[in-house]
Structure 1
């Protein structure tokens, strides 16, 4: 019996010392609050971020902003949106640039810079954690967790 008790104590101690599961904040797509867009579908978001659609339904030009590759939200965003790794997204943009068809969205380093970009461009669209979205922007799409 003492061995069982010792094993139980060891296992319990080990479990308590394990790091808690990482809680990830929800990512959302935001637009300039004055652009007239209240909500977007998944396909509309994909089209805006992959350059397939250059205007919102109301004719305002989309001006997407992306995060740098090293920011963890960028990988989370493209995984949740289209189920692709960053290498696949970057390869897509390399093909578009090489063929002369499209230029990728501007990249910034922080969520605060995303918000500044979106606010300062009438057709601005970007992604941030829900907790960072404020009254200057409108949440138009919530990404699945």
Structure 2
């Protein structure tokens, strides 16, 4: 009985963590398309894509790497540590290849920025997603 309880506790912990790790992409109405595939999203957040199809400049909004969501983004989207993501962006900016992402401490501040800046796109935890946000589907889903 003791082992069954331990197994159930581990299962519940794993399920809770996997739900917490879900991310959602939000975007300004002017710029990002309503849907992207994961490879396109990675290309945008790696600074490879500078303009949307309508010509609007891409503006990347990220949670600061020291936040829980920032750590999840670093791991899940960039496949890097938070420090490695910082170094990656510093190198791109220093080389003049891209503008630095705008960083935020809170999901609410990031959402407000994206809503008020044409071309802006950002990533938040699915649990922080407001009902009125414009969500960009990734591989046909609201979260990845």
Preserved contact between residue 78 and residue 85 of structure 2 (Cα < 8 Å): no
Provide Cα deviations, 1:23-57, integer angstroms capped at 9, x if missing partner.
Answer: 33321111113436110122221222222111122
1:30–1:139 CA contact under 8 A, matched in 2? yes
Q: Which runs of 5+ in 1 are unaligned?
A: 1-7
Q: Distance in 2 between matches of 1:13 and 1:53?
A: 50
Task: Give the direction of change, closer, same or farther, for the CA distance of 1:45–1:13 in structure 2 (3 Å limit).
Answer: closer
Query: Which of the two has higher C-alpha Rg?
Result: 1
Determine whether 1:138 maps to 2:131: no
Map Cα deviations across residues 94-141 of structure 1 (whole Å, 9 max, x no partner). 222333333320101111111101101111100112241432322332
- Looking at structure 2, the residues matched to 116 and 44 of structure 1 have their Cα atoms a distance apart, in angstroms, of 24
- Structure 1: how far apart are the matches of 2:70 and 2:143? 12
Q: In structure 2, what is the equivalent of residue 5 of structure 1?
A: none
- The answer as to whether partners of 1:80 and 1:143 remain within 8 angstroms in 2 is no
Aligned counterpart, 1:56: 52
Rate the CA distance shift 1:33–1:134 in 2: closer, same or farther, 3 A: farther
* Residue 36 to residue 72, structure 1, CA distance change in 2 (3 Å): closer
SS of equivalent residue, structure 1 residue 107? strand
TM-score when normalising by structure 1: 0.76
Q: 1:55 to 1:133 in 2, by over 3 A?
A: farther
4+ long deviations beyond 4 Å: none
Aligned length: 135
1:44 counterpart residue number: 40
Structure 2: which 5+ runs fail to align? none
In 2, the alpha carbon distance for the partners of 1:76 and 1:143 equals: 13
For residue 129 of structure 1, the aligned residue among 122, 125, 130 is 125
Q: TM-score, normalised by structure 2?
A: 0.76
SS at match of 1:30: strand
**Which residue, out of 81, 86, 90, partners 2:86?**
90
